[in-house]
Amino acid sequence: MKGKWTVDRKQWTKRLLGPMLILLAAAVATAPLLLNGFSCGHDFDFHLVSWMDARDAWQNGTFYPHWTPSANFGAGEPRFLFYPPLTWILGAALGAVLGWQAAPVAMAFLLLAGTGLAVRVLAKQMLPQGAATLAGCIAIFSGYALYCVYERSAYGEMVGGCTIPLALLFAMRQKRSTLWLALTIAASWLANAPVGVMVCYLLAAFVIVLAIMRRSWAPVLRAAVAVSLGLGLAAFYLVPAAVEQRWVDIQEAINDPGLQVQNSFIFAHHASAALKDHDIELFKTSLVATTMFAMFSTGFLICLLRKRMPGESNIWLPLALIPLAVLFLQLPLSLPVWNLLPKLSFLQFPWRWLVVLEAPLAIFLASSKWPQTQRGRITLVCISAAAFVGVAWFAGTRFQQVCDDEDSVAGMTQAYEQGQGSIGTDEYAPQGADNTLVAQKLPVACLVSDATATLGEGDADDPQPVWRAGQASCDPFPVIATGGEEHRRVRGMASHAGYVVLRLRRYPAWNVRVNDAPVTDQGNRDDGLMVVPVQPGFVDVTMDWTTTSDVKLGRWISLVALLTAAGVLFAERKK
């Protein structure tokens, strides 16, 4: 009995050692965040405020919110309807449990660990366990993952580091993989729309190569079923996000020259002063991309010369073609492809494809370096550990973004609790509205004689207008405001006939009533604020978020897909 326990304990220790080393590597990668403080990357403000809004919605009884009330300085926007839910749900949960100071660090750690573990699982199909663990660690420190943590705070995009290796894994498998592939595709779309686009295109190309090499259409058919099922599972988000794009200015996501594919190819440089800051950032990403391609090339060539390719040819060859495709998409000659393939231009930056490069790079490099002797493996582990610490230090010093006082977690938390709100997202603005015209510090309701009256004034230091009572842009209108994020009520006395400008962005999903009479026209102000006509006397305005038909359709599709997934699970288990 004692001998059996000893054997079992050794087996469990051996099984857990690899995952524990991956977790340790993720801890090392996030250590600069603990030592130097979190990094205010490009998307940090957007994510943190979203997490706070989601947490508040839960506290008010709304499990799946659609409206972010703090955006546009309290006027809100339908951010949760368009931005995938996975990261803002996880971020809100981390903030509720750990506090807002720890939530960003915990998020980075979990996503880096997920990347390493996913790559390790994929690599185990081709490499020994030790080499597979090394591949998982290399993926964490390969460049782009840390760039997303420290330079960009692109948490949604980092989920791709977890889902892409799993998509490749389940595409390779020939048995009981359809459901898992579908779940991976659904998770990709529910984490980040660009990741969802990349996974679908990558999967299509990957299974076609597999089908050619295996001389069987089974991988293509299995992937087609999985994609359909995965999109169905995510339909509760995808259908409303696709249908309701016509209500917002979604083209703003790519209208800025810095957000267009043709201006972001590797090492591009532009004469326009408007792209000066963009070119500085593009140079950094180009260096990251070049380093990653060099690492892959080194690993691939060593494997080729030593005849140590990972796995059989029908596995390593499709994997080796991925970096070539990613490199092609970084070059200007790929522009026709970007313009031809649907939704590809919404990726904005070609270098987003570097998240796809992480797994092949790590697997080929680990395979090329893994020694055959115990002494060699110990030496490699020591060298790799030193290299990983050095890369983490480099990322923490070169990529980490120093926070201004107002952008720090403490500053943002204080501003949020005081109700100051934050700037809105351009692509979620109502059609024809301008986020830069929304006044800060607006009252919940403003009585005006002219529905288009200007509210607030800007100055040279801050062009964003600010409302002050002394401006006399609102007539006296004492109100009582009640309600939460998606159900609101404003009551007051109007001294004359006119219009009430609400501190709420117009959106067709809002059901607005004045003294129990429906309001069909929410106005057309340039700042996008909602306007309702009123008569002298008591005014009672209610604003209720409604469940539109496209939302219901998406939920029904997801329900059918969920039942289908259960059937697929039963069939695969029985088979």
Same structural domain for residues 395 and 538?
no
The residue whose two tokens read 């700037």 is: 423
Residue 12 pairs with which residues in a beta bridge?
none
Q: How many CB atoms lie within 10 A of CB 160?
A: 32
Same structural domain for residues 9 and 63?
yes
What confidence score (pLDDT) does residue 8 get? Answer: 60
Nearest to 79 by CA among 34, 49, 122: 49
| pLDDT one-digit tens code per residue, 141-172 | 998 999 999 999 999 999 999 999 999 999 98
Which tokens sit at 128? 């020994």
Which tokens sit at 294? 């060099």
Is residue 571 domain-resident? no
Residue 487 pairs with which residues in a beta bridge?
544
3 state DSSP class of 67: coil
3 state DSSP class of 77: strand
Is residue 114 domain-resident? yes
| pLDDT one-digit tens code per residue, 506-518 | 999 999 999 999 9
Same structural domain for residues 517 and 389?
no
Is residue 422 domain-resident? no
* pLDDT of 10 higher than 70: no
What confidence score (pLDDT) does residue 177 get? Answer: 84
Residue 482 pairs with which residues in a beta bridge?
489
Is residue 73 domain-resident? yes
What confidence score (pLDDT) does residue 68 get? Answer: 93
In CATH, what number is assigned to the domain containing residue 502? 2.60.40
H/E stretch holding 445 reads strand 445-448
C-alpha neighbours within 13 Å on the C-beta side of residue 167 = 34
CA–CA separation, 288 and 152 (whole Å) = 13
Identify the sign of the CA torsion 118, 124, 130, 132.
negative
How far CA 172 is from CA of 35, 177, 353, 368, 566, in Å, comes to: 41, 9, 21, 22, 22
CA–CA separation, 427 and 109 (whole Å) = 30
What lies within 8 Å, CB to CB, of 299 at 6+ separation is 361, 364, 365, 366, 367, 368, 369
Selected residue with higher pLDDT from 427 and 482: 427
Same structural domain for residues 454 and 388?
no
Is residue 412 domain-resident? no
Same structural domain for residues 336 and 462?
no
Same structural domain for residues 374 and 455?
no
What lies within 8 Å, CB to CB, of 367 at 6+ separation is 126, 127, 131, 135, 299, 303, 308, 309, 310
Same structural domain for residues 440 and 350?
no
Is residue 573 domain-resident? no
Give the domain range for residue 316.
2-406
| pLDDT one-digit tens code per residue, 524-543 | 899 999 999 999 999 999 99
User: Chain-wide mean pLDDT for the chain?
Assistant: 90
Looking at the structure of the chain, the number of domains it has is: 2
Angle at the Cα of 353 from the Cα atoms of 348 and 359, rounded to 5 degrees: 160
Residue 446 pairs with which residues in a beta bridge?
501
114-128 burial: b if 16+ Cβ within 10 Å, else e? bbbbbbbbbbbbbbe
Same structural domain for residues 347 and 442?
no
pLDDT band at 299 (very low <50, low <70, confident <90, very high): very high
Inter-residue contact 557 to 503 (CB < 8 Å): no
CA–CA separation, 336 and 60 (whole Å) = 48
Same structural domain for residues 360 and 458?
no
CA–CA separation, 81 and 144 (whole Å) = 28
pLDDT band at 575 (very low <50, low <70, confident <90, very high): low
Angle at the Cα of 32 from the Cα atoms of 26 and 33, rounded to 5 degrees: 85
CA–CA separation, 129 and 12 (whole Å) = 14
C-alpha neighbours within 13 Å on the C-beta side of residue 192 = 21
What confidence score (pLDDT) does residue 523 get? Answer: 86
Residue 422 pairs with which residues in a beta bridge?
71
Nearest to 355 by CA among 171, 149, 173: 149
Nearest to 412 by CA among 53, 30, 33, 32: 53
CA–CA separation, 109 and 25 (whole Å) = 10
Q: How many CB atoms lie within 10 A of CB 466?
A: 16
Is residue 349 domain-resident? yes
Residue ending a domain, among 406, 421, 449, is 406
CA–CA separation, 328 and 326 (whole Å) = 5
Percent of the chain with pLDDT strictly greater than 90: 61
Residue ending a domain, among 360, 391, 406, is 406
pLDDT average, residue stretch 349-367 = 95
3 state DSSP class of 404: coil
Inter-residue contact 54 to 92 (CB < 8 Å): yes
| Most confident segment among 77-86, 370-379, 470-479 | 77-86
Same structural domain for residues 198 and 303?
yes
Per residue, what are the HEC states of 359-396? HHHHHHHHHHHCCCCHHHHHHHHHHHHHHHHHHHHHHH
Angle, helix 276-306 to helix 354-369, in steps of 10 degrees: 30
Is residue 293 domain-resident? yes
Residue ending a domain, among 406, 422, 442, is 406
Same structural domain for residues 475 and 383?
no
Nearest to 103 by CA among 49, 161, 180, 158: 49
Nearest to 194 by CA among 144, 217, 160: 160
- Fill in the amino acid letter for 34: L
pLDDT average, residue stretch 72-100 = 94
